[in-house]
Chains A and B, each alone.
Chain A
Amino acid sequence: MSDPTAQSGKIDFSPKPRPHEVAIRIFLFVTAAISIVITLGIVLELVKESWLFFGDPEVSLWEFLTSNEWQPVIGKFGIWPLLSATLMTSTIAMLVAFPLGLMVAIYLSEYAPDRVRAILKPVLEILAGIPTVVYGYFAVTFMTPLLQSIFGNDIVDVYNTASAGIVMGILILPLVSSMTEDALSSVPRSLRAGAFALGATKMETSIQIVVPAAFSGIAAAFIVALSRAVGETMIVALAAGAGPNFTINPFEGAETLTGYIVRISGGDISYNSVDYNSIFALGLVLFIITLTLNFISRRIVEKYREVYE
């Protein structure tokens, strides 16, 4: 009796070796892994130069973290003047961008007729696509003179954090509104229909039902926008002032982390100097802040997302 399995066993069903398919796969993997190399490169360079910075006899880590004086010329390296300016401009920016962005998003997602939305969304996209240096120009040539004409020249300095912050708010407004709008429109129709059926007005439905339901997305938008504001450079470099200043007066000039990095690296900087190393130490601080914020925003989305259906 012949065995059919023995015969078919001669047919080879194992995958044919295709070396070029494997080579392509490896090549594609390498290109994807480049992103890891970039991250490692960033971390490595920032840490290495920061190490050299803190290894300098003039610099102490304790002074760096606690002192409120940053004057490299006389060997004072306290981060607080720069950090407080960054916090100031970002806070002002968020005070402008978050309420406005949230309201724009509610209007677009809940109130606006389709035709209006079809016009407004590209307009906001344009606003988001304008280079930041143009916003910097706007801050210097429009917002600062405007603030000066409102509050008076002796109160508002030529360079001030208020002007930079407000314009930065306009810059991140489209980011807040588009992310928030995405979150709001992903809330299912049935929730709104249920609220209307119970007699809620449109406003009550929007604010008491839809906004809480989209909370995780809105919170994520807030934090991503904050991280963008902290890392924003050109507006503060042009409008916020070119000198570290530890102050809480928004009408005074004060240099931010990013503004300092740009000013120092824009000049002719020599390698292995304290100045050169210091911008990497500040870059490391900036990197840690933005990475933490991005991490928090992702955790919020994962943890508090309401899953419908």
Chain B
Amino acid sequence: MSASYTGQKSYYGDGMAQNIARRRRHGRVWHILFYAATTISILALIVLLLNIFNAVFGFVLIEDEVPPTELAPGGDLESLSQGELISLLEEYLSVGLIRRFNFEEPLAERSVTDLAALVQVRIVNPTVIEAWSLQESLFQSDMIRAEHAAHPGTRVQFRSWLSARFLVSPQNPRPQLAGIRTAFFGSLWMIIIVIVVAFPIGVAAAIYLEEYARSEIWYNRIIEVNIYNLAGIPSIIFGLLGLAVFVRALEPFTSGTVFGGVDPTTANGRTIISAGLTLSLLILPIIIINSREAIKAVPSSLRESSYGLGATKWQTIWHHVLPASFDRILTGTILAISRAIGETAPLVVVGASTFITVDPKTLFSKFTTLPIQIYQWSARPQSQFRNVAAAAIVVLLVLMLSMNAVAIIMRNRISKQRRI
């Protein structure tokens, strides 16, 4: 009996064993595929970041109009005295220019450092004629040497396109002098307007939808569905809305002419306030959705105990629901704002300035922001603007990542010290 049983088992078992082996093989192949797909995604992120860093640092080939070695022993301009620097300036520059400098601040009263910087920019006037990426700088030094030899009178210097000077200089048509000062202030203005406009409206709408609205009523359902639809509309459509409403229809207000203080002949609606309001509309649905999640997380026992003590609906919300959910609301809002500062398309449509060098001072100033600078620099044909764009990307990513980090730290602290 037992013999025939084992025989039978091996008869079926053979096929089954093969079958199982085949199925396991398939399982392993798919496992590897899943793993590979994940690895590819992570690799994409790494390549993206490396590609940026690759362009931020590297050797550059610089051509000086007047080599500094001709001006000072060893080329060290700061070793010269004040008098020597002034005579250099007078020797090389036109009388009119000197008069202008004297008018801005008398040369004799300027420090040696300032004068040396002036000589550096005005007389030495270095121009980057070729820039190499970090990878080329590290591994293709032969090519760089050959290029250097082909351009007599030039020097090779290692340059970080991201520098303190880059952060504080305004825009400049020459890549090595360009900076992000105006763009940074523009982005800062956007953040402020979005916080002032979208945050209160978004939170108030979320309170209404979570605490007051009964979803059986038709208009509440419409509002709810509508908010999810708005969140799915491409950002460029919001740009068109901003262009038609804020820039064009409300031009007297958004250009600032009705408030006075701006030149009505040149003023138009393509201002900071138009752009900020457009971005506010864009992230309003996101703030509402995030805030609703936060308010939803407050347990109803808290509300009921407040009602039990005789509090009114608004007292309950103001004194109990909002304080209990406020940190979550803030986290959601920070994430929404970090999305707003990365937005480019709607601002291009609203009409960001292509070239401004003055800081935006009022709500009615012309504007540019970090992502717009990155867009414009990336679109330029000169390759050196790619390096400048990469440096600006690093600043933008650091700004966004630090905002996200704040949000994540807050989220973790909340989940550790959950109240109820």
A residues near B, CB below 8 A? 18, 20-21, 24-25, 27-29, 31-36, 38-39, 41-42, 45-46, 49, 99-100, 103-104, 106-108, 111-112, 120, 122-124, 126-127, 129-138, 140-142, 170, 173-174, 177, 201-204, 206-207, 224, 227-228, 230-234, 237-238, 258, 261-262, 265-266, 271, 279-280, 283, 286-287, 290-291, 294, 298
What residue in chain B is nearest A23 (Cβ atoms)?
A: B314
Q: Is B420 an interface residue (CB 8 A)?
A: no
B345 and A120 within 8 A (CB): no
List residues of B whose CB falls within 8 A of some A CB: 23-24, 26-27, 30-31, 33-38, 40-42, 44-45, 47-48, 51-52, 55, 200-201, 204-205, 207-209, 212-213, 222-223, 226-230, 232-241, 243-245, 248, 281, 284-285, 288, 312-314, 338-339, 342-345, 348-349, 351, 354, 371, 374-375, 378-379, 386, 389-390, 393, 396-397, 400-401, 404, 408
Given A35-B227, A133-B378, A170-B44; 5 other pairs, CB 8 A cutoff: A42-B240, A49-B244, A122-B408, A134-B374, A294-B229
> Are the CB atoms of A134 and B393 closer together than 8 Å?
yes
Query: Which residue of the partner chain, among B40, B55, B223, B375, contacts A32 with CB atoms under 8 Å?
Result: B223
| Distance of A236 Cα from B260 Cα, bound (Å) | 40
Q: Which 10 pairs show the lowest CB-CB distances between chains A and B? A: A231-B234, A131-B342, A103-B37, A233-B345, A28-B208, A203-B27, A107-B34, A31-B204, A32-B205, A45-B244
State the main secondary structure of chain A at its contact with B: helix
Query: A28 with B41: in contact, given A134-B396, A280-B244 (CB under 8 Å)?
Result: no
Given contacts A35-B230, A203-B26, A238-B378, contact A138 B51 (CB under 8 A): yes
CB atoms of A104 and B37 under 8 A apart: yes
Q: What is the CA–CA distance of A127 and B46 in the complex, to the nearest angstrom? A: 10
Bound CA span A123–B43, Å:
11
Cα A224 to Cα B204 in complex, Å, equals: 28
List 13 A-B residue pairs with CB atoms under 8 Å apart, sorted by A's residue number. A24-B314, A100-B37, A111-B34, A130-B397, A133-B374, A134-B393, A140-B386, A203-B23, A207-B30, A261-B236, A266-B348, A287-B233, A287-B234
**Nearest neighbor of A230 in chain B, beta-carbon distance:** B234
Closest beta carbon of chain A to B217's beta carbon, Å: 11
Q: B235's contact among A112, A203, A231, by CB below 8 Å, is which? A: A231
Q: Bound state CA distance, A69 and B233, in angstroms?
A: 27
B406 to chain A, nearest CB (A): 13
In the complex, A141 Cα to B389 Cα: how many Å? 11
B34→A35 contact, CB < 8 A? no
